[in-house]
């Protein structure tokens, strides 16, 4: 059996055919199984808010411990704070790339203008 981390890379074409709730359910189902999910085009600020809200409802002691999420910045240079993106303060565009994984397996080490550096460990 192969040991390691499964990475699911989802194209923007596939995601564009899904509703917001379908995207969130797909992401949470994969992350709960210990997979790292990479979205070619990030979620909208509203979808990110719904994802975080759904995640908080599913966290349980001794079970699912939550998600780590990072977005590769968009090229527009328009960057607001987390709350402005989540709660509509301005028109922050969706990121160009989003990485989501189990909080106990995925650690974002560096987020720079032109790259994300992440460390992932296999499920225990």
Listed residue (44, 51, 22, 35) closest to 93, CA to CA: 44
| 113 has a pLDDT exceeding 80 | no
pLDDT of amino acid 78 = 47
pLDDT of amino acid 92 = 46
| CB distance 103 to 59 below 8 Å | no
pTM flag (> 0.85): no
Residue with the bigger pLDDT between 96 and 68: it is: 68
pLDDT of amino acid 74 = 56
Lowest mean pLDDT: which of 31-35, 91-95, 110-114, 118-122? 91-95
Which of helix, strand or coil describes residue 102? Answer: strand
**pLDDT tens-digit map of 71-108:** 876 555 444 444 444 445 544 455 578 899 998 888 87
Strand ordering across the sheet containing 97-102? 7-10, 36-39, 97-102, 67-72
Which of helix, strand or coil describes residue 34? Answer: coil
**pLDDT tens-digit map of 25-52:** 999 999 999 899 999 988 998 999 999 9
pLDDT of amino acid 105 = 86
pLDDT of amino acid 5 = 83
């Amino acid at each position: 059996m192969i040991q390691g981390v499964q990475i699911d890379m989802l194209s923007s074409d596939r995601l564009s055919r899904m509703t917001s709730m379908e995207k969130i359910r797909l992401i949470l189902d994969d992350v709960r199984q210990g997979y790292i999910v990479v979205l070619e085009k990030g979620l909208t600020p509203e979808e990110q808010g719904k994802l975080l809200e759904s995640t908080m409802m599913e966290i349980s002691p001794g079970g699912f411990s939550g998600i780590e999420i990072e977005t590769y910045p968009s090229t527009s240079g328009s960057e607001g704070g987390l709350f402005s993106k989540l709660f509509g303060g301005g028109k922050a565009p969706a990121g160009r790339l989003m990485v989501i994984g189990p909080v106990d397996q995925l650690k974002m080490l560096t987020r720079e203008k032109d790259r994300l550096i992440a460390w992932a460990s296999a499920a225990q």
